[in-house]
Structure 1
Amino acid sequence: MVSIATWNINSVRLRADQVERFLRQEAPDVLCLQEIKTEEKHFPHAVFEAAGYAHRAVHGQKGYHGVATVSRIPLREVSRHDWQDNGEARHVGVELLGPGQGLIVENVYIPAGGDIPDREANPKFGQKLDFLGRMTRWAEALDRPTLIVGDFNIAPLDCDVYDHKALLKVVSHTPIEVETLGQFRDAHGWVDLGRQFIPAPQRNYSWWSYRSYWRDKDQGRRLDHMWASPDVATQARGHRIVEETRKWDQPSDHVPLITEFDL
């Protein structure tokens, strides 16, 4: 069995102790982090080395964005796609070389898209849709067993948000974003592992705003995802959300997801 986790950590240096706690508690074989907000030279390598995660692929930048995949399993970095088309660090792909040998794990941080769901009024929203378009063209050519995970910044289903009607005009749940993500899904026949194991309409949130979480009204959204090639999806044996991390001291606004595979 191989367990793979994903977590938007919202600054790996600020929350290195929380990552260490999570690794000690859940012990995934592979952890994909997004929004690490640091260059590779400042990445807390010693924390992961001490925890037994000797294999790392870090694609970072100063103060913003950035992704990193850390592993107890040997791996090799295979790609860094610039789907944002502006040099931002939002993707790293690796191939597992030990258990699960041959599996490609793609770690992605899709842009949030700003506040206004209009390409003309808000260039960031257009960049998000274009990012997804480039990802879709990439997915059409895939021919290897692949898992893509990360912060997609889109809640695709009506039940993936706390109030579907109220959020239809809110970036992350607008019809155009859902449709564009659907085109990406169909380009490779991706299987949404979160909904394979926690079928709709069951609650399955992974993000709560810092501004509203204190109200304890469960105003969540499912923005983080683990999607698999059809052949990889058949090997998935379990999936869970580690929601307790949202209640840790000074937490990320996202929580980790973990899927176990019989590879």
Structure 2
Amino acid sequence: MRIATFNVNGIRATQRRGFDDWLASRGCDVVALQEVRCPVPLLPDGVFRDYHLTYDAGQTAGRNGVAVLTREAPVAVRSWGAGVLVRAPGDSHVELREHAETGSLARELKAFAAEGRYVEVDLADHPLTVASLYLPKGGLPAHLQVPGRMREKPDGGARYERKMRFLRGFARHLTATRRAAAAQGREFLVMGDFNVAHTRLDVKNWRTSQRSEGFLPEEREWFGSILSPRSLVDVVRRLHPDVDGPYSWWSWMGGAFDRDTGWRIDYHLASPRLAKAAIAGGTDREASAAERLSDHAPVVVDYDLPPVGASTGLRSPG
């Protein structure tokens, strides 16, 4: 079973660069998308080909938006927002389903519920729950903000604090969701743009990045706290334990892509048994900067996963 995650940085722009060809040629069974950044009525016709679409666009036009593409219609859909688009291939009908109430969220996540940052589905053809996440980028804490040395206007640490609130709530959400999947005999996979590089292997210029958002000590500590052999496993790092990268994001500026000055911030985090079923994976890095579909590259993993009805040997949730 081939599963991918891809921050498209705007589906309409990525389509113009060749997203359709990538999707048609890659043969994925499931694709998680982030930063779709498109109101439902403006989704390009046919861009998702013969996939079923589950999409939380959020309520801010041109921002965020997460989706999951599946070969079969999912048997269940859950989101933090009030409405989720569920659409069959070739269907122009807009069906907005109401799902998870914000009251069921960790309190830190309620402020993010309408932003289109998280959606999850239960697959019909495999015993698996799949989630797509777009985690806030954040910013620097106040003591690291130096006017004139920042690309963005200093904010006294507001963006940093907002991200840290998200991280605290999301850690609890992951535990609850993973255990709920296990209780139903399903494996769990959360994919997407976490906007955190975990270790020195995940950033090309790690020495100069230690005071940058996305590689701050407290962000890296949080990321490590959600991983363990009994909870969630970083699948690509398990497949490539000692290599730099493989990176999944490069700035558009300064020739970063050509020099491979990248960050690994897009992940597959899987329940342990599913992680052990991963047989190959990495990033679909384009051959040249001119061929890039997005500032991110797709992260694609092949799993040897049994279909519905087969025993997974899943133990009680930890």
Assess if the C-alpha contact under 8 Å between 1:246 and 1:252 holds in 2: no
Q: Distance in 2 between matches of 1:124 and 1:45?
A: 36
Match of 1:40 in 2: 40
Task: Provide the rounded CA distance (Å) in 1 between the counterparts of 2:297 and 2:264.
Answer: 10
Residue 56 of structure 2 is matched in structure 1 by: 59
Gaps of 5+ in 2: 82-108, 144-154, 182-186, 306-318
Structure whose alpha-carbon radius of gyration is higher: 2
Match of residue 193 from structure 1: 235
Shift of 1:16: 1.8
Q: CA deviation at 1:212?
A: 2.5
Contact 1:140 1:188 (C-alpha < 8 Å) held by counterparts: no
Using the aligned pairs only, state the percent identity.
30
Q: What TM-score, normalized by structure 2, do the two folds share?
A: 0.75
Match of 1:117 in 2: 141
SS at match of 1:180: helix
**Distance in 2 between residues matched to 1:196 and 1:20, nearest whole Å:** 30
Q: TM-score, normalised by structure 1?
A: 0.89
Indicate the SS of the match to 1:238. strand
8 A Cα contact 1:140 1:187, kept in partner: no
Following the alignment from structure 1 to structure 2, what is the Cα–Cα distance between the partners of residues 186 and 135? Answer: 16
Change in Cα spacing, 1:84 to 1:188, as seen in structure 2 (3 Å) is farther
Deviation at 1:245, TM superposition (A): 7.0
**Structure 2 residue 120 is the aligned partner of structure 1 residue 85:** no
- Where does residue 91 of structure 2 map in the other structure? none
Residue 79 of structure 1 deviates from its aligned partner by 1.4
Q: Does 1:23 align with 2:23?
A: yes
Task: Check if 1:157 corresponds to 2:157.
Answer: no
1:231 has 2:255 as partner: no
User: Once the 2 structures are TM-superposed, how far is the Cα of residue 31 of structure 1 from its aligned partner?
Assistant: 1.0
One-letter code aligned to 1:262: D
Please say which of residues 172-181 and 245-254 is displaced more in the overlay.
245-254
- Unmatched runs of 5 consecutive residues or more in structure 1: none
Letter in 1 for 2:123: L
| 2:130 counterpart residue number | 105
The answer on whether the counterparts of 1:148 and 1:226 sit within 8 Å (CA) in structure 2 is yes
Higher strand proportion: 1
Q: Distance in 2 between matches of 1:253 and 1:10?
A: 7
**Deviation per residue, 1:45-75 (Å, 9 max, x gap):** 5222xx321x110111310011111122331
SS of match in other structure, 1:208: coil
Q: 1:137 aligns with which of 158, 168, 172?
A: 172
1:66 partner letter: G
Deviation digits for residues 141-170 of structure 1 (CA, Å, limit 9, x no counterpart): 232210000000111011111122110001
Cα RMSD (Å): 2.2
Counterpart Cα distance in 2 of 1:202 and 1:215: 15
Asked if 2 retains the 8 angstrom alpha-carbon contact of 1:162 and 1:221, the reply is yes
Measured at CA, do residues 247 and 56 of structure 1 come closer, stay the same or move farther in structure 2, by a change above 3 Å?
Answer: same
Could you tell me which residue of structure 2 aligns to residue 180 of structure 1? Answer: 222
Provide the secondary structure at the position in 1 that maps to 2:115.
coil
Q: How far is 1:41 from its partner? A: 2.5
Q: How many residues align?
A: 256
Look up the SS of the partner of 1:231 in the other structure: helix
Question: Separation in 1 of the partners of 2:288 and 2:68?
Answer: 21
Change (3 A) 1:23 1:85: same
CA separation in 1, counterparts of 2:29 and 2:263? Answer: 26
> Helix, strand or coil for the counterpart of 2:130?
strand
